[in-house]
A and B are shown apart, each in its own frame.
Chain A
Amino acid sequence: MIELSNLSKSYARGKVKAVDNISLTVRPGEIFGFLGPNGAGKTTTIKMIVGLLRPDTGEVRVAGIDMLKDPIAAKRRIGYVPDQPQVYDRLTGNEYLNFLADVYQVPDDVRRERIEHYLEIFELKGAVGDLVQSYSHGMKQKLVLTGALLHNPPVWIMDEPMVGLDPRSAFLLKDLMAEHCRQGHTVFFSTHILEVAERLCDRIAIINRGRIIACGTLEEIKEHREKETLENIFLELTENEGIPVSLEDHLS
């Protein structure tokens, strides 16, 4: 569903390598966790997958479609939730959702059913007629999540989706991720919460300084390592590999 081949991206005219020649395949029906310390290249990679950044080299294929060659077809298959829930403040919740449903060409009856379903789950039904500017951070996040699922995308990509969600919504989100997967779709998300990755993900990749330093199931990653928890492995793999200040500044 997602294939990254020799993907690289540099900033400051090649001086800072944010993503350094990574290759990765995420299969259908898989929940894939993308871990890494701050400034490791997670968001840059995600932005390249969803078509917000153009890679310097390499290839991104989503559901078999080359993002660079046919971005529209590729984007149609993606539901993206950015790290910050940015929504048009001066639209109402339902106008925003309707707009997304229109551009993703979701038929009338299907959209109504899905919108109502997700609004019910996220308890947004009472607020969806209000202007987005009156929403709290968590409400905006839930609206963005709903928008990303409206077209039932084969590939659901999220950048730090748990941030700003209350425990109940976070639980519901995890449930939705599992449900999405059961339909044979792919879920790809970055997170700092290692327990979530440990409990939820079929496979995990750890990125540090733009390179994938570990990838596989939790068992595969644990293999040949003395540490027992993902947290310990994560710390072992990423320690002594401080992020260069220039890179961190640039990415922030």
Chain B
Amino acid sequence: MRAFLSLLRITFRNYYGISVMKQKYIKEKRELWQPILAVVGVGFGGFTILSLYYLISRGLYTGGKMLGEPALGLEYALLVSAFFIFFFGVSSVITTLYFTEDAPFLVSLPLKPFQVLAAKFSLVMANQYLVLAFLLIPHLIIFGRGEGLGFLYILTAAFIFLLFPAIPLAPAAAIAITIMSRAGSKRLKDLFTILTYVFMIAFGIGIQFLVQYLPKGKEIASLQEILKNHGALLTQVGRGFPPAIWATKALAYAGTGEGLLSLGLFLVLTVVLLGLMLLLGERFFYQGLLKGEEVSRRRRVKHKVGIAWGARSPFKALVLREHRLFVRTPVYLMNVLPVAVIIPVIAVLPLITPGKQIPVDRIAPFLAAHPYVKLVIAAITTFIAGTLPLAASALSREGRLFFISRLIPVSPKDQIRAKFWYILGVNFLCTLPFFVLAVIIARLGPVDILALAVLSLAATAAVTELGIVIDLLRPFFDWDNPQRAVKNNLNVLFAMLVTLVFLGVFTAVAIGLSLTVPWRLGYLALLLLVGGVAVGLYYGQLALAEKMYRMC
């Protein structure tokens, strides 16, 4: 038990970098602004989204109450949570169990497979609490307050909250263990990553479709309408997943015999699922891990003499390295390219949803009368570029291999130059589908298209440079799988916030210009300003590179 607890402790410490944070922020008191900014940023974003979700939850509660089933909203929330945790948890389970660098080390320790599995599974569970908190807590609060429930309700709610992720995750882990024990982890890694992202994209677009079909300004009322018309159907769906019903009953009848019975059933199922998963893990978990350590089958690449060893300039070689590592790491690719698809889809949905079409014919005359509004296109493309994670992880993505970049005889300036031009190219390409769609819909003339393209490029360059500067200032090299280089990299969040600030200033200047000078003059002034910022930042990042490459 002591060994397991110790393993659990180091698993969490290692994953969340607790010791590093303790050393940096508490002992050395360095860069304390980082956690503060992260808490403020995440807190602000979280609060905004939660407020909206709280309103929807209230709507569901009221709708359920009208039908005489006040716990209906809670039951749906549990169902949705289980669905979310299962689908998104599968990828998390696979990554955490099989694709971390400590796997061979752990296998070599005198620990039983189920102990290693349990420690890693606990980590996956812990990671799901944030999602669960978002999806469930508003419903728990609304239901508890609405029904005037007391201490026993809070206790039961806490209990269910802590255990609930195990119910969808244990089967997900069991599936992962079974597949991996047969296929070997390394071969499936990229496939799983791509499938997960494809699913997430499809899910995101699906949600967008659903939102489009709800009448504007009457979203809550229509949700209640859906409950009224399809309540029975949804309840039937719920019947197919009894733990959601047991958890709902345990909460709704907390402290009563029926509540206790439901809680008992919920508990028994949790224990049985966890037990079965651990049993399966004891037998098959290490099989998959060990297969991952085997050297995979060789795939021969035909060498084209003269091309394979063709000499390039160091700049071209560095750009090519960026490109190869980007396109061959599915996590990087799938964090970037879908944006090029999703944003245009979201933009085009309001135009094609039956009965809700925006009168496209009126856009061109409107823009002719209000030319400054065209800048919205440039603002959106800049926003898209600013949210892409490539710039803000320009150095971080090199991870522990960053020493190679410090070793090669190419100046940091040239290295950053190569990164910048490559990332700018990718970022601009990702904004292009939206840009093309927007200029087609707005029926802009060639002069306007060229003008907006130049402005978009300059603004994209500026936000790309801001991202690189952020990553130069605080590179994150200590990751053990590429997912963490972009997903757990706060620089990406900081870059988004800085992009929003940049766009705020851009908008303020544009509004100011629109009130004082004609469109063409205003456009030129704005282009000069954005271009000036981009050029300044370009040289700024190069100067900073010289300093930071030595310090890292």
Taking beta carbons and an 8 Å cutoff, which residues of A are in contact with B?
A: 50-52, 54, 72-73, 75-76, 80, 82, 86-88, 90-92, 94-95, 98-108, 111-112, 115, 126-127, 129-131, 133-136
B46 → chain A closest CB, angstroms: 34
Q: How far is the CB of B542 from chain A (nearest CB, A)?
A: 15
Q: Are B311 and A72 in contact (CB under 8 A)?
A: no
A82 to B402 CA separation, bound complex (whole angstroms): 13
Stretch at the interface among B10-18, B238-246, B276-284, B404-412: B404-412
Interface residues of B (CB under 8 A from A): 186, 295-303, 308-314, 316-318, 320-321, 324-325, 328-329, 400-401, 403-404, 406-411, 550-551
A134→B308 contact, CB < 8 A = no
**Can you report 28 residue pairs joining A to B where beta carbons are below 8 Å apart?**
A51-B406, A52-B403, A54-B550, A73-B409, A75-B409, A82-B403, A86-B400, A86-B404, A88-B321, A91-B321, A91-B324, A94-B303, A98-B308, A99-B317, A99-B321, A102-B311, A102-B312, A102-B317, A103-B409, A105-B314, A108-B309, A111-B309, A130-B301, A133-B296, A134-B297, A134-B298, A135-B295, A136-B295
B332 to chain A, nearest CB (A): 10
How many whole Å from B365's CB to the nearest CB in chain A?
51
Given contacts A106-B311, A112-B309, list 15 more A-B pairs with CB under 8 A.
Answer: A75-B409, A86-B401, A88-B401, A90-B329, A91-B325, A94-B301, A102-B317, A103-B410, A104-B408, A108-B310, A115-B309, A129-B303, A133-B186, A134-B296, A134-B297
> How far apart are the CA atoms of A100 and B321 in the complex, in Å?
10
Q: How far is the CA of A75 from the CA of B406 in the complex (A)?
A: 9
Report yes or no: A129 in contact with B301, Cβ–Cβ below 8 A. yes
| Contact (A75, B408) CB under 8 Å given A90-B325, A130-B301, A134-B296 | yes
Inter-chain contacts of B408 with A (CB < 8 A): 75, 100, 103-104
Q: Are B298 and A127 in contact (CB under 8 A)?
A: yes
Question: Which of B298, B408, B409 has the most CB atoms of chain A within a 10 A radius of its CB?
Answer: B409
Among the listed B297, B298, B311, which residue makes an inter-chain contact with A107, where contact means beta carbons less than 8 Å apart? B311
- CB closest residue in chain B, given A139: B295
Please list the 6 inter-chain residue pairs (A to B) with the smallest Cβ-Cβ separation, ordered nearest first: A102-B317, A129-B301, A76-B409, A108-B311, A75-B409, A90-B328
Give Cα distance in the complex from A101 to B410, angstroms: 12
Q: Is the CB of B314 within 8 A of A102?
A: yes
**Chain A, Cβ-Cβ closest to B482:** A90
Q: Which of B317, B318, B325, B551 has the most CB of A within 10 A?
A: B317
Chain A minimum-CB-distance residue to B301: A129
Least distance between A166 CB and chain B CB atoms (Å)? 15
Instruction: For the complex, give the distance between the alpha carbons of A99 and B312 in Å.
Output: 9
For residue B233, give the distance in angstroms from its CB to the closest CB of chain A: 47
Chain A residues with CB below 8 A from B312, complex form = 102
Q: A88-B401, A90-B328, A130-B299 are in contact. Are A104 and B409 (CB under 8 A)?
A: yes
Q: With A104-B409, A107-B311 in contact, is A99–B320 under 8 Å at CB?
A: yes
Q: List residues of chain B with CB within 8 A of the CB of A107.
A: 311
In the bound complex, how far is the Cα of B320 from the Cα of A115, in angstroms? 19
B317 neighbours in A (Cβ, 8 Å): 98-99, 102-103
